[in-house]
Structure 1
């Protein structure tokens, strides 16, 4: 169990990342490939069907430093890669100070049969660091880049949902949207986690990173002195088309109760409003026709759950505070006017 301790200053500095982090997605997708051999995930299955020698060679090098269970080095997921900055992240990995390399890689070297190249990497040998950088770049280019539209779509839906909740209802309300794996009982966020530890933010705030490949439990950096990060499984709104049309069973919190209240289709339309979008985008997210999305949006607008604004020839929809409260569990009764 991980207990994240907040102060008032931490709540003010807590935010959701601007997008998927390419190095966190690298580590977590390597975990999936190591455990499942490609598994059922459409992104990884699509890569498995291609003949990609560069990706396979990179994967062989990365697997030993990214074991799927237990510890992996923090320097592989630097803050510089946040928001999609792959090259900045790789530069930060290659610039890791030698004492930190030695300390973090020593924990891996204690495992059975560490690879021979781990010692020169721990010593900060320039060619070993360049080799690691090339492997990270090759893996991303061959495995993740073809799937990046799916990764971005899933994480963006989740990011907009959390960010809009935070903007409208505050950080406290946003921290209550995560469901059973993350439980917010102020001033502590309790996280299902493989180790028992406490993380005191101490005024630094927390960066929440939605991840496509984080599938079991949230992940945090092992070194509590580093800027606090919590990577969590991104959720897609009900009915959203993810992973290239493969479908998704993810649901926002309370989706079944919401479906009973509004009806499945209208609930899907409301839940699809993770951020402002046009009628056609709303229809695509909810998996309905544009005319159906427009009709449901009109009902939700009359009920005060969404607002609609015409810009040129497009109508843009967004949640109202009441709509956000209903989705986050802050409303206890049906809004008036729903039929």
Structure 2
């Protein structure tokens, strides 16, 4: 659990990044490259991108392992200028390079040896890293940047609307299903216990296309505080399948609104009925009806925490969205109860939600 402590000064210094932050999208997309080839959102992009990578990308993939720590210096607090991000990374102080890369290497002497030139701040190693970042962005991200920007802009607009309609309390409370605002503390479901005191520095909120499953913060509390959280709640792909003949089949099968409810539930990795009402702009009664039908069909799972009902996708629901249900139906259908599905499953009030979602690539311990 991550607990972010605000002062009155911090409340006035909250801001949302103006657009997708290249350094963060780069890091988190590298995590996605380590992921499943059949991922419903990243799979096609991953397959195509792996075929376009230059040899220099091996350094970036080494710096951004699928699991474990990724160096904080790779994600400087600059908004949407790729060249500024590269310059900030290349100008990282040697003491910080050493500290961050020592954490990355851990007890591996081989890894430490490979990263030593970079850890020592050698000019050639830093030039190589900068070139690798530029080329990776050019080949992996730039072709889809307009779409990434559109997804992040839509999320930013939604948060601005929350701020105007309900103030900071509503904006912070609606960031993500795994984020809870209870003034003056923002609590985030997290793989480790951590207390972050902002101390008047404020907080930069960074909606990210490639952030998946749970929000992310920097490990080093001395750095400018940021909270990166998933923006792509509508499961929008960067690259569409080559065969689009089946486009819209899910909407025709379930109905457009019910399909949208299923997509929102799957994208959010856990969402409340109130959030569905706000995101889809439909009535609470309609949300309840659609969630009940989806639950009874075995496509979603619902559980109650205190007075709040949370909805999550089942394996069958994910397969339907990913287009894999035909071949996997016999196995996945075993998840679906043969009898009536209960309306909700009661869990303890303080049960953590984080174990219900797969971990993202970055470690925070």
Mapped partners of 2:20, 2:28: distance in 1: 12
Which residue number in structure 1 is paired with residue 307 of structure 2? Answer: none
Which residue number in structure 2 is paired with residue 303 of structure 1? Answer: none
Which residue number in structure 2 is paired with residue 69 of structure 1? Answer: 67
Which residue number in structure 2 is paired with residue 88 of structure 1? Answer: 84
Tell me how many residue pairs correspond in the alignment.
259
Give a deviation string over 1:287-333, Cα, whole Å, max 9, x none: xxxxxxxxxxxxxxxxxxxxxxxxxxxxxxxxxxxxxxxxxxxxxxx
Q: Alpha carbons of 1:16 and 1:216: their partners in 2 closer, same or farther (altered >3 Å)? A: same
CA positional deviation for 1:66: 1.0
Is the aligned partner of 1:108 residue 2:111? no
Q: Alpha carbons of 1:134 and 1:170: their partners in 2 closer, same or farther (altered >3 Å)? A: same
Unaligned runs of 5+ in 1: 265-339
Instruction: Find the partner of 2:264 among 247, 250, 255.
Output: 250
Which residue number in structure 1 is paired with residue 56 of structure 2? Answer: 58
Give a deviation string over 1:5-57, Cα, whole Å, max 9, x none: 01111111012111111110111111111132x4425556235236855x242
Give a deviation string over 1:264-305, Cα, whole Å, max 9, x none: 7xxxxxxxxxxxxxxxxxxxxxxxxxxxxxxxxxxxxxxxxx
Mapped partners of 1:46, 1:222: distance in 2: 29
Give a deviation string over 1:91-114, Cα, whole Å, max 9, x none: 000011111111111111224341
Mapped partners of 1:195, 1:50: distance in 2: 32
Is the aligned partner of 1:120 residue 2:134? no
Mapped partners of 2:48, 2:228: distance in 1: 29
CA positional deviation for 1:245: 5.9
Is the aligned partner of 1:259 residue 2:273? no
Unaligned runs of 5+ in 2: 242-247, 249-259, 266-270, 288-365
SS of residue paired to 2:68: coil
1:154–1:242 CA contact under 8 A, matched in 2: no
1:217–1:232 CA contact under 8 A, matched in 2: yes
SS of residue paired to 2:12: helix
Mapped partners of 1:96, 1:106: distance in 2: 15
Further displaced range: 245-254 or 55-64: 245-254
Which residue number in structure 2 is paired with residue 171 of structure 1? Answer: 168
Q: Alpha carbons of 1:208 and 1:51: their partners in 2 closer, same or farther (altered >3 Å)? A: closer
1:58–1:135 CA contact under 8 A, matched in 2: yes
Mapped partners of 1:44, 1:228: distance in 2: 31
SS of residue paired to 2:55: helix
1:32–1:39 CA contact under 8 A, matched in 2: no
1:52–1:142 CA contact under 8 A, matched in 2: no
SS of residue paired to 1:68: coil
Q: Alpha carbons of 1:179 and 1:130: their partners in 2 closer, same or farther (altered >3 Å)? A: closer
Q: Alpha carbons of 1:175 and 1:52: their partners in 2 closer, same or farther (altered >3 Å)? A: same
